[in-house]
């Protein structure tokens, strides 16, 4: 690494006129290779000191990009921050039948045996009695459309607000304000609980409709439920949800009208909303920070490639948005600012 730094310094000096600069190689008494930088420049010159400062201020983690094209995370990086960028959608799979026009697909950000971070679940949500959950153990099975298992839920679910977390599927029971925890490995219901006073079955949906009154979400801190109530007059209410008992935890009432936005997701304790489900060039348009209890307007470009996004969720393990856009299952890279 020292040799690399010296070579970079020599190259920079060459570019600004230090054409007599050279790198001399020799061995020390123990036989180890060492390098000496030789230049006719005055090394105390202010121009040199500024150049040296610029060189040493750039860590290798920022020079060497990760395969995704983004800087590698530094040691100790918690991965949390404020959303500042959403990438272009990448299409992984297209549904085969009309029942897949709307849907939800998920991977577990907190996988437990026998599942892994690659295990994928998919639910086609067109219909009045949606109970089938397709499971894919391998990513290749998912992209090729060959499920390894099909779960049949003990009760139908409603809309596209389901998530998988810690080995369980969490979903809204059809025609109710009930959230259900279904353990995937044992295929049993472990808990059911009403979200108090939450609107349901078309009372406070997102702008695209689809009975999206109750939307579950996962971020780095755990499980959330996004909804509204008569008391909130249609504004988004955000509550922490105990993943075992489904008891509501701390709750925030926002000033964002739920029916005015197309979808919402949570990253690092901040709620984000998307302006349109059908406009090709939409935006992440609002953020509500639970740490401060305040909201602000945003204008982060968000592309609806197929012009009908019925589900947008964040996966904190993969640091990506998952979406279902008019039969198509897509992902978006995201970039967060440093905390």
Number of domains forming the structure of the chain? 2
| Residue 27 pLDDT > 90 | no
Do 252 and 140 fall into the same domain? yes
- Provide the 8-state DSSP code for 41: S
Contact 189, 180 (CB under 8 A): yes
Do 153 and 264 fall into the same domain? yes
| Residue 12 pLDDT > 80 | no
Q: What is the domain range of residue 44?
A: 2-26+35-58
Do 41 and 106 fall into the same domain? no
In a domain, 65, yes or no: no
DSSP string, 142-210: HHHT--SEEEEEEEEE-TT--EEETTEEEEEBTTSSEEEEEETTTTEEEEEEE-TTB--SSSS--TT-T
Q: Residues 101-137: pLDDT tens digits? A: 999 999 999 999 999 999 999 999 998 899 999 999 9
The pTM (predicted TM-score) of the whole model is 0.78
Do 145 and 239 fall into the same domain? yes
| Residue 11 pLDDT > 50 | no
In a domain, 157, yes or no: yes
CATH of the domain at 260: 2.115.10.20
Of 36-45, 55-64, 146-155, 221-230, give the lowest mean pLDDT range. Answer: 55-64
Give the pLDDT of residue 134.
97
Of 15-19, 46-50, 142-146, 156-160, give the lowest mean pLDDT range. Answer: 46-50
Cα–Cα dist 211/181, whole Å: 19
């Amino acid at each position: 690494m020292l040799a690399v730094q010296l070579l970079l310094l020599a190259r920079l000096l060459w570019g600004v006129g230090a054409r007599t600069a050279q790198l001399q190689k020799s061995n020390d008494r123990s036989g180890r290779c060492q390098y000496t930088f030789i230049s006719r420049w005055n090394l105390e010159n202010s121009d040199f000191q500024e150049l040296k400062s610029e060189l040493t201020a750039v860590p290798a983690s920022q020079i060497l990009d990760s395969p995704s094209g983004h800087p590698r995370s530094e040691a100790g990086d918690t991965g949390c921050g404020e959303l500042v960028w959403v990438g272009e959608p990448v299409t992984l799979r297209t549904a085969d039948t009309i029942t897949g026009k709307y849907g939800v697909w998920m991977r577990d950000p907190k996988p437990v045996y026998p599942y892994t971070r690659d295990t994928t679940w998919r639910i086609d949500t067109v219909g009045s009695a949606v109970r089938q959950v397709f499971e894919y153990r391998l990513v290749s099975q998912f992209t090729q459309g060959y499920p390894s298992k099909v779960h049949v839920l003990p009760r139908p679910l409603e809309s596209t607000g389901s998530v998988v977390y810690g080995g369980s599927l969490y979903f809204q029971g059809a025609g109710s304000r009930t959230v259900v925890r279904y353990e995937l490995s044992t295929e049993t219901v472990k808990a059911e609980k009403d979200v108090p006073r939450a609107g349901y079955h078309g009372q406070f949906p997102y702008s695209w409709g689809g009975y999206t009154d109750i939307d579950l979400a996962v971020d780095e801190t755990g499980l959330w439920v996004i909804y509204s109530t008569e008391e909130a007059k249609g504004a988004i209410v955000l509550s922490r949800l105990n993943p075992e008992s489904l008891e509501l935890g701390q709750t925030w009432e926002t000033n964002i009208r739920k029916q005015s936005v197309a979808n919402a997701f949570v990253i690092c304790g901040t709620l984000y909303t998307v302006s349109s489900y059908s406009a090709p060039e939409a935006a992440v348009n609002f953020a509500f920070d639970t740490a401060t209890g305040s909201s602000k307007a945003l204008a982060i470009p968000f592309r609806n490639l197929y012009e009908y996004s019925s589900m947008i969720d964040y996966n904190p393990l993969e640091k990506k948005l998952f979406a279902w856009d008019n039969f198509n299952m897509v992902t978006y890279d995201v970039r967060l600012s440093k905390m």
